[in-house]
Amino acid sequence: MVSTITAATLTITISESISLNGRQQGGTHSLSVSSIKDIYKRIISIASGDDATIAVFKSTAAVADGALDKDLVKYIRVTNLDDANSVNLSLQLDSGEDNSAADLSVTHLLQPGYSFIMGTVDEAVHADDDSPSLITALTDLESILIDPGSNAGTIEIFVASI
């Protein structure tokens, strides 16, 4: 069966607005990503003391149940919808790039109301505790986990793929 979905252009706009001493100091940046034909969007409530895997990325969607094809992902946004509590956002990395479980991780504190944004997940990030130098040999994002700690949390994830 041939897909009847017509690819479209995703427009992403980031805008800051602040006036200091009578002058606008904010800015706006827009980006268009063409050929998007697959959207994954979900709002997830996570109980206190629990964590949740909110997205899994593999070489093809068939490798794992619910996986998104890492080669096709072009944009990810995770937003903390809680108005009082932070959550830990953990990027789980597959440094062997062999569709196995994650073997490295990087955790980011996502404050209430804030968003975390990234583009591709293929060759996109790396962690190294041996050297504080710039690393250019990047690896694949294997999954994203959310841990709200001792508070319940609610997040939204939006992923766009070609």
47-58 pLDDT, tens per residue? 999 999 999 999
Is position 50 within any domain?
A: yes
Q: Tell me if the pTM is above 0.85.
A: yes
Q: Structure tokens of 29?
A: 């940046």
With bands split at pLDDT 50, 70 and 90, how would you rate the model's confidence at 145? very high
Average per-residue pLDDT in the chain? Answer: 94
67 Cβ contact partners less than 8 Å away, ≥ 6 residues apart: 56, 57, 58, 60, 61
Q: Please report, rounded to a whole number, the percentage of residues in the chain having pLDDT higher than 90.
A: 81
Beta bridge partners of 67: none
**Strands, E assignment, the chain:** 8-16, 19-20, 23-24, 27-36, 38-46, 52-58, 68-69, 73-80, 87-94, 104-110, 115-118, 140-147, 153-161
> Is 80:87 a contact under the CB 8 Å cutoff?
yes
Residue 12 in this model has a pLDDT that exceeds 80? yes
Is position 25 within any domain?
A: no
Is position 22 within any domain?
A: no
For position 49, which CATH number holds?
2.60.120.10
Is position 7 within any domain?
A: no
> Is 97:104 a contact under the CB 8 Å cutoff?
no
Is position 4 within any domain?
A: no
* pLDDT given for residue 31 in this prediction: 98
pLDDT in tens, 37-86: 999 999 999 999 999 999 999 998 777 788 999 999 999 999 999 999 99
Q: How many domains does the chain have?
A: 1
Is position 14 within any domain?
A: no
> What whole-number distance in Å separates Cα of residue 144 and Cα of residue 67?
11
Is position 58 within any domain?
A: yes
Domain that holds residue 146: 36-161
Average pLDDT over residues 95-113: 92
Residue 128 in this model has a pLDDT that exceeds 90? no
Residue 158 in this model has a pLDDT that exceeds 70? yes
Is position 13 within any domain?
A: no
